[in-house]
Structure 1
Amino acid sequence: MNAPDYTSFLKSKVRMAESFGFEIDDSEINPLLKPFQKATVRWAVVGGRRAIFKRFGLGKTFDQIEVVRIVRERAGGMGLIVIPLGVRVEFMRDANTLATGDSPVITDEQRAQLRAWLVDHPERAPRLKFVRSIEECDDPEGLYLTNYETVRDGKLDPRHFTVSSLDEADCLRGFGGTKTFREFMALFAGDDRRDMSNRIVTEGVRYRFVATATPSPNEYIELLAYCAYLGIMDVGQAKTRFFKRNSEKADQLTIHPHKEREFWLWMASWALFVERPSDLDPSFSDEGYDLPALDVRWHEIPADHSDAGTDIGGQLRMFKQQAIGIVDAAREKRDSLGVRVAKMLQIRAEDPDAHRIVWHDLEAERHAIEQAIPGITTVYGSQELDEREASIIQFSDGEIAELAGKPVMLGSGCNFQRHCHWEIFLGIGHKFKDILQAIHRVHRFLQRHPVRIDFIYTEAERAIRHNIERKWQQDTELRKKMTEIIREFGLSRAAMASVLTRSLGVERVEVSGRDYVIANNDCVDETRRMESDSVGLILTSIPFSTQYEYSPNYADFGHTDSNEHFFEQMGYLTPELFRVLAPGRLAGIHVKDRIVPGGMTGLGFQTVYPFHCKTIEHFMKHGFAYMGMKTIVTDVVRENNQTYRLGWTEQCKDATKMSVGMPEYLLIFRKPPTDRTNSYADTPVQKLKPFSLDADGNMIPFDRELPTAVGTGYSRARWQIDAHGFTRSSGQRLLTPEELLALPHDVIFKLFKQHSLENIFDFEHDVRIGEVLSAAGKLPSNFMLLQPQSWSEEVWTDVTRMLTLNGAQSAKGKEMHLCPMQFDIADRAIAQWSMPGEEIYDPFGGLMTVPFRAVKLGRRGRAAELNPAYFFDGAAYCKMAEQERSTPSLFDAFEVAA
């Protein structure tokens, strides 16, 4: 297909998660671990930075202790495991089992194997110490436990440790939005970079692991947070590679259908989802790892509609609203507390002496539980840590029959399955992960009884119940996909990578007509096939570096790791574009700058990557002359909804945080003409001046004498306005705010546009218009209603954003392009910089906007596109344009007949 150097470049894109660790064998792993647990430990130690997502009861505590111990043994230094409150006892108990074999579930034969294994290497016996400060770490080669709060409060700096593992890493679930996440990223992840030998050098903890039984496969942003913490891939890059964004709201991600398998294969290269031992290898026995039956019972309490309240207009409601929002849900919980407690007592009365957990969310609920059930043990945040842990141990050991607490406090890491198989939720909440964790304190492997779960909720909370059930089902389905991949490939990264390599190339398909030639092909290969100096104009919207991916093919320019990587691939294309462009002709390159998240900058705030500047440098490097650019204004309100970068609230808090909206640019480059003694192109783009006719019907140029019949053409007046770039005021009075209040949004938009273009700009007057509309509730928050218009020809504010081929795609129910070129941009560039009959080339054709508009404007269109779906849809549009152009009108038929 392409030259070997380009093919090698594409093959180098096939990357699974990098390995940072050590090859080990089973003899180095504690013999008490079962075969599937040893396989997990080997996989994690080799990776050096990995996530262990094992189902409840599969022994991830054993896994973490052994992984941290072995890596510390190989790399030196100290090891650290960070745990939630209340889990210390479980870890200390398991560490003692691994060191001594002292446990009722360990057989005499296993205990003897352990003692023999420790004879020559007594240092392999894990000795965990719980610490609350770095000063308590008295062994420079020790293994330590601490709580998240200790690290968060700055009492222990993890950078003193060589290896760390985060157990139930809740702090990562709040990606980007919490102080804890930012601190943990800075302290643990540090600033990874590579030395001259391409080895990772980090200011944080070099070897990092996370382990949890409840990652949320349906919460993609959470999975990407784990990925960022481990240093596998930048979050922004992962978003670009696998997801399409919600243009109305930041961080609402939907995976591209064509990228779904690749995403889960990539996930499987650094995150191990295990539901049962045989997932890792069919030879691993599942004996003892069958989950017990789960009996879920929902108890709906009728709502009290007598207190339904009023609507926004002050009218009394007949029925209570659904408690969908957090505020409404909290109010509903307070209002219904009495009836929910009564329902709890009714359920509890079925077996008053049973061992049971009662889950709640509010402190008022805890007080109500303590009053309703005298003698029940409760745990809460203001308790002394030792008192809280003592209660947890007593309940775990069956010494206490009933325990009440919050899922956020007790729902992670605690194992209660030995003596408890019944839970009552006094209420339900929005956090599905907390509910799932709480359920699996008792519904886990080694549970010997069916598990009963009672949910109490009110009629107004039906939507919350349905949301929980939806997420539960989605979680189950996505976990199944992950385990299917593990079952198919095992733990072989090479096998996964070989599957992805198959999408490297593309079999060229050409569709052509009289006025166009388009190809489903890699644009580098396609451009190399073209004749030199054959194109009259290059017009394209290049991929915005790593911002978007358009196909599952590794030749996709968006499938790059960094801006530098993107321009490296452009380095194969741009010289070919220079070659095929006719001497002296132009290339119009549509670009947009990119937002760099604060987590990537290391500065704590978002910055702007000047992509248009880098593109200018790149094209000039390859021989193009830079001629200037057109600025295309965009809607800053919609942009803020995508990035949360320009928020009104944040501007009020600190104006230094806010930048400006990101316009788009049409960069103009020129290939120097063959003859450098003058500035004309080898074939100039000529325009016919207006003309008049003399008495004999001969054309007289308009600039020589007054016309009697003026023909069309490029007038002196138009040239003067184009050259000057500004329009004077028409002198009409200013539009008053009051005149706009009774008008609909579309009329206000058009009137303000006219006002902005025809009147002298008055900043305070325009602000006043917006303030009046806002006070009347007529200033929308999802788009910019009052857009300032430009008087300069160098700034295009009148580009119709929605006038693209996506309109036709949407009408047909077909896949829409991620960022299609607007018709206005294509039409203006083609009309100004080319002549009829010339070939217009777009190497990134997409839905074929450029050849489609070129054909309509009397030119020949040519394009390449890698995505087959876009290509074939675009082929239909090009054919339609050619048919419209060649179909005679009624008047044409009369002329032929005459």
Structure 2
Amino acid sequence: MTTTMPAEDAYAAFLAKKAMVDPPTGLADIPDLPSALFPFQRDIVRWSLKRGRAALFAGTGLGKTLMELAWGSAIHAAHGGMVLLFAPLAVSTQIIREAAKFGIPARLVRCQADCGPGINVTNYQKIEHFDLAEFIAVILDESSILKSETGKYRTDLIAVCSAVPFRLAATATPAPNDFMELGNHAEFLGVMSYTDMLSTFFTHDGGETQKWRLKGHAENDFWRWMASWSVMLRKPSDLGYEDGAYQLPALHQIHHTVEVPSLAPYLLGGRAATLQERIRARRESVDDRVAFAASITPTDRQFVWWCNLNSESEALAKAIPGAVEVRGSDRDDDKERKLVDFSEGRIRVLITKPSICGFGMNWQHCADTGFVGLNDSFEQIYQAVRRFWRFGQECEVTAHFIAAETEGAVVANIKRKEADAERMAAAMVLHTANITKGIINAQARDVAVYSPTMPMQIPNWLGAAA
């Protein structure tokens, strides 16, 4: 007689078949960790060490750098060998300073010959100068570099790190609907390939290849799977810890609409309606927006202006005395020198683009920034603002947003995307919080001391039986 497997059992078997084999490479015995770790950081590090290959999706300023360094130091303490930490340009220097601050040995390296036992820190741009087969562990700082499905760094990192036994990826909470980024992290860690993730948990919507949605019956399984190899949090209380010092100061977002001398005749009603019209309106209003930006730049404190167009950057550098421009065409060494100089207070006004410096830098020493022009990328704006508005910032942060009156609803679009992103990020954390709490909290070694003060009395019936 032929029996039919119940639908739920068939689906469980399907998931098991699709899951990639992920040998346990974690540590059974966790070495001592730095005392500087907060309780939530300590438990996350212990969990990721036991996991062996893990992702930390943690909000800006939650101490990902310290957790990365503690993780790498523990791997070296347990197994010896070399650990390689990749970071964005100029962030590597920042990480070395953080390591010294917490007493964790780390060296800045440019090629394989510079490396030695322990933690070695370099830039993603130098990946071809290293033989990853020689390293016991790899750490990706700002691992959102894996976002692009066909990006060069994504492809190279997944290929060259596939045989590295210990892997850690750390970035801010990913875009909630960007399943490509989640899939690429899973593939980098050897958990499941991006394509297998899609076929296992998602269904395709229509004819657009980038539009996928979770299968209704697979949603719980998907988040349980995510929580098995990653941890997501925006603040410590997401995992049941006290927020304590992790309270952000106020963020003041000031929107400025700049009038232009004559409205463009090609715009219906004088306002851009399409993307092409907005781009043209931005190009034609550069002089007006730059003049306004220069007029509101403070003269008594540090400031960063974010641009989208080279013409904006060049004009601002000329209009603001002493301002320093960081361009994509600069040599990597020059970019790094300028960013370090701003971080250490030697540059007062920095002018750059979110695509160049919007990821990884810790600029809590500065509380004023602005966008001389806006594009439609909410992610770039989100990341750029969070170079300043992050845990550890002691001052209220002010961010200026300048748009020409001809650009239409660009500010409204950004506000809408911001509200959508906040709502979806909260939902993502909520989905995994309950699962992750039990896993992460279980890593704590702190136990109540058993010190009985009352004598134990043996029941009469037990004594009689004896």
Name the TM tier (shorter chain): 0.7 to 0.9
Contact 2:43/2:440 (8 A) holds in 1: no
| The one of 248, 263, 273 aligned to 2:232 | 273
Q: Which residue of 2 aligns with 1:396?
A: 343
Q: Which residue of 1 aligns with 2:328?
A: 381
Q: Which residue of 1 aligns with 2:273?
A: 322
- In structure 2, how many angstroms separate the alpha carbons of the residues matched to 1:482 and 1:320? 36
- Judged with a 3 Å threshold, the aligned counterparts in structure 2 of structure 1 residues 344 and 135 are, in CA distance, closer, same or farther, namely same
Give the secondary-structure state (helix, strand or coil) at the position aligned to 1:437. helix
- Judged with a 3 Å threshold, the aligned counterparts in structure 2 of structure 1 residues 286 and 19 are, in CA distance, closer, same or farther, namely farther
Structure 2 counterpart of 1:300, one-letter code = T
- In structure 2, how many angstroms separate the alpha carbons of the residues matched to 1:233 and 1:466? 39
Give the secondary-structure state (helix, strand or coil) at the position aligned to 2:86. strand
Aligned: 1:129 with 2:102: no
- In structure 2, how many angstroms separate the alpha carbons of the residues matched to 1:4 and 1:320? 63
> Shift in Å at residue 82 of structure 1?
0.6
| The one of 231, 236, 249 aligned to 1:292 | 249
- Judged with a 3 Å threshold, the aligned counterparts in structure 2 of structure 1 residues 392 and 129 are, in CA distance, closer, same or farther, namely same
Contact 1:296/1:453 (8 A) holds in 2: yes
> Shift in Å at residue 244 of structure 1?
2.7
Contact 1:172/1:225 (8 A) holds in 2: yes
Contact 1:303/1:320 (8 A) holds in 2: no
- Judged with a 3 Å threshold, the aligned counterparts in structure 2 of structure 1 residues 318 and 490 are, in CA distance, closer, same or farther, namely closer
Aligned: 1:84 with 2:88: yes
- Judged with a 3 Å threshold, the aligned counterparts in structure 2 of structure 1 residues 305 and 128 are, in CA distance, closer, same or farther, namely same
Contact 1:341/1:426 (8 A) holds in 2: yes
- In structure 2, how many angstroms separate the alpha carbons of the residues matched to 1:213 and 1:224? 16
- In structure 1, how many angstroms separate the alpha carbons of the residues matched to 2:153 and 2:30? 37
Contact 1:305/1:320 (8 A) holds in 2: no
1:118-166 per-residue CA deviation (whole Å, 9 max, x = no partner) reads xxxxxxxx422222222222x2x33211111111xx2223233221111
| The one of 127, 130, 133 aligned to 1:156 | 130
User: Within 5 Å, which residues of 2 pair with 1:519-530?
Assistant: none
Structure 1 counterpart of 2:118, one-letter code = G
- In structure 1, how many angstroms separate the alpha carbons of the residues matched to 2:346 and 2:28? 42
Q: Which residue of 2 aligns with 1:264?
A: 223
1:157-211 per-residue CA deviation (whole Å, 9 max, x = no partner) reads 32332211111124311112x333222222223xxxxxxxxxxxxxx32322211
Q: Which residue of 2 aligns with 1:244?
A: 203
> Shift in Å at residue 74 of structure 1?
3.3
- In structure 1, how many angstroms separate the alpha carbons of the residues matched to 2:231 and 2:284? 44
> Shift in Å at residue 377 of structure 1?
2.4
Instruction: State the structure with more CA Rg.
Output: 1
Contact 1:168/1:213 (8 A) holds in 2: yes
| The one of 279, 283, 286 aligned to 1:337 | 286
1:499-557 per-residue CA deviation (whole Å, 9 max, x = no partner) reads xxxxxxxxxxxxxxxxxxxxxxxxxxxxxxxxxxxxxxxxxxxxxxxxxxxxxxxxxxx
Q: Which residue of 1 aligns with 2:122?
A: 146
Between the aligned residues of both structures, percent identity stands at 30
User: Within 5 Å, which residues of 2 pair with 1:679-828?
Assistant: none
Q: Which residue of 2 aligns with 1:422?
A: 368
- Judged with a 3 Å threshold, the aligned counterparts in structure 2 of structure 1 residues 472 and 21 are, in CA distance, closer, same or farther, namely farther
- In structure 2, how many angstroms separate the alpha carbons of the residues matched to 1:491 and 1:24? 20
Structure 2 counterpart of 1:255, one-letter code = L
Q: Which residue of 1 aligns with 2:415?
A: 469
- Judged with a 3 Å threshold, the aligned counterparts in structure 2 of structure 1 residues 44 and 354 are, in CA distance, closer, same or farther, namely same
Aligned length: 436
- In structure 2, how many angstroms separate the alpha carbons of the residues matched to 1:58 and 1:146? 22
- In structure 2, how many angstroms separate the alpha carbons of the residues matched to 1:338 and 1:440? 27
Unpaired runs of 5+ residues, structure 1, are 100-125, 190-203, 311-316, 496-898
1:347-402 per-residue CA deviation (whole Å, 9 max, x = no partner) reads 33xx4323221111222212101111011122223445444334333433444332
Contact 1:323/1:463 (8 A) holds in 2: no
Give the secondary-structure state (helix, strand or coil) at the position aligned to 2:122. strand
User: Within 5 Å, which residues of 2 pair with 1:538-687?
Assistant: none
- Normalised to the residue count of structure 1, the TM-score between the two structures is 0.45
RMSD between aligned alpha carbons? 3.0
- In structure 1, how many angstroms separate the alpha carbons of the residues matched to 2:65 and 2:169? 11
Aligned: 1:357 with 2:308: no
- In structure 1, how many angstroms separate the alpha carbons of the residues matched to 2:269 and 2:373? 25
> Shift in Å at residue 286 of structure 1?
1.5
- Judged with a 3 Å threshold, the aligned counterparts in structure 2 of structure 1 residues 24 and 298 are, in CA distance, closer, same or farther, namely farther
- Judged with a 3 Å threshold, the aligned counterparts in structure 2 of structure 1 residues 446 and 171 are, in CA distance, closer, same or farther, namely closer
- In structure 2, how many angstroms separate the alpha carbons of the residues matched to 1:185 and 1:460? 44
- Judged with a 3 Å threshold, the aligned counterparts in structure 2 of structure 1 residues 462 and 160 are, in CA distance, closer, same or farther, namely farther
Contact 2:272/2:408 (8 A) holds in 1: no
- In structure 2, how many angstroms separate the alpha carbons of the residues matched to 1:208 and 1:26? 16
- Judged with a 3 Å threshold, the aligned counterparts in structure 2 of structure 1 residues 494 and 411 are, in CA distance, closer, same or farther, namely closer
1:318-359 per-residue CA deviation (whole Å, 9 max, x = no partner) reads 64543425xx554333211011112213433xx432322111
- In structure 2, how many angstroms separate the alpha carbons of the residues matched to 1:144 and 1:422? 33
> In terms of mean alpha carbon deviation, does 406-415 or 246-255 score higher?
246-255
> In terms of mean alpha carbon deviation, does 28-37 or 179-188 score higher?
179-188
> Shift in Å at residue 19 of structure 1?
6.4
Give the secondary-structure state (helix, strand or coil) at the position aligned to 1:307. coil
Unpaired runs of 5+ residues, structure 2, are 442-466
| The one of 69, 72, 82 aligned to 1:68 | 72
Structure 1 counterpart of 2:112, one-letter code = I
Contact 1:217/1:223 (8 A) holds in 2: no
| The one of 438, 445, 466 aligned to 2:391 | 445
Give the secondary-structure state (helix, strand or coil) at the position aligned to 2:390. coil
- In structure 2, how many angstroms separate the alpha carbons of the residues matched to 1:227 and 1:370? 42
- Judged with a 3 Å threshold, the aligned counterparts in structure 2 of structure 1 residues 305 and 93 are, in CA distance, closer, same or farther, namely same
